[in-house]
């Protein structure tokens, strides 16, 4: 896993786990890798993964069963989408709007490009 300098590593690992959940690689009530297994997989310290799992537990994305490990909450996808949506609307969208304004991009061009993206994205996901 390659990490981005501008974001805490534990949050990037949490996003990695969330992406696995959204892609159904980890499904509701499935056991996920142990702290040690994930630390080896992403090549980080155990404490970093432990912090990621604590964050995911606090957000009710995963839960622990003492002596058995960590598991995906049944509502994990819904929670992840809600958190990502809030982050997008609060952080990314204002910058997006600023760029549209500064570059004088018309919304019709954005709509055309969005439709082209969807067409290609849907085609790509159906091929997998």
Could you give phi then psi for residue 53, rounded to 5 degrees? -65, -35
Q: What residue ranges do the domains of the chain occupy?
A: 9-76, 88-127
Q: Which of 87, 19, 15, 23 shows the shortest CA–CA distance to 56? A: 15
DSSP 48-76: HHHHHHHHHHHTTSEEEETTTEEEE-TTH
Question: Burial letters for 9-43: b for 16+ Cβ neighbours within 10 Å, e otherwise?
Answer: bbebbbbebbebbeeeebeeeeebbebeebbeebe
**Cα angle value 106/86/12 (rounded, 5°):** 105
Give the architecture (CATH level 2) of 9-76. Orthogonal Bundle (1.10)
**pLDDT per residue of the chain (128 residues) written in tens, 0 to 9:** 788 888 899 999 999 999 999 999 999 989 999 999 999 999 999 999 999 999 999 999 999 999 999 999 999 999 999 999 999 999 999 999 999 999 999 999 999 999 999 998 887 767 75
């Amino acid at each position: 896993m390659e990490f981005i300098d501008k974001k805490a590593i534990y949050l990037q690992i949490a996003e990695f786990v969330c992406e696995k959940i959204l892609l159904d690689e980890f499904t509701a009530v499935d056991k996920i890798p142990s702290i040690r297994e994930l630390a080896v997989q992403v090549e980080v310290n155990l404490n970093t993964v432990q912090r990621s799992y604590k964050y995911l537990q606090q957000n009710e994305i995963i839960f622990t069963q003492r002596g058995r490990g960590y598991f995906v909450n049944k509502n994990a996808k819904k929670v992840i989408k809600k958190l990502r949506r809030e982050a997008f609307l609060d952080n990314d969208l204002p910058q997006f709007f600023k760029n549209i304004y500064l570059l004088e991009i018309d919304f019709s061009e954005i709509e055309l490009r969005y439709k082209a993206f969807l067409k290609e994205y849907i085609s790509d996901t159906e091929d997998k």
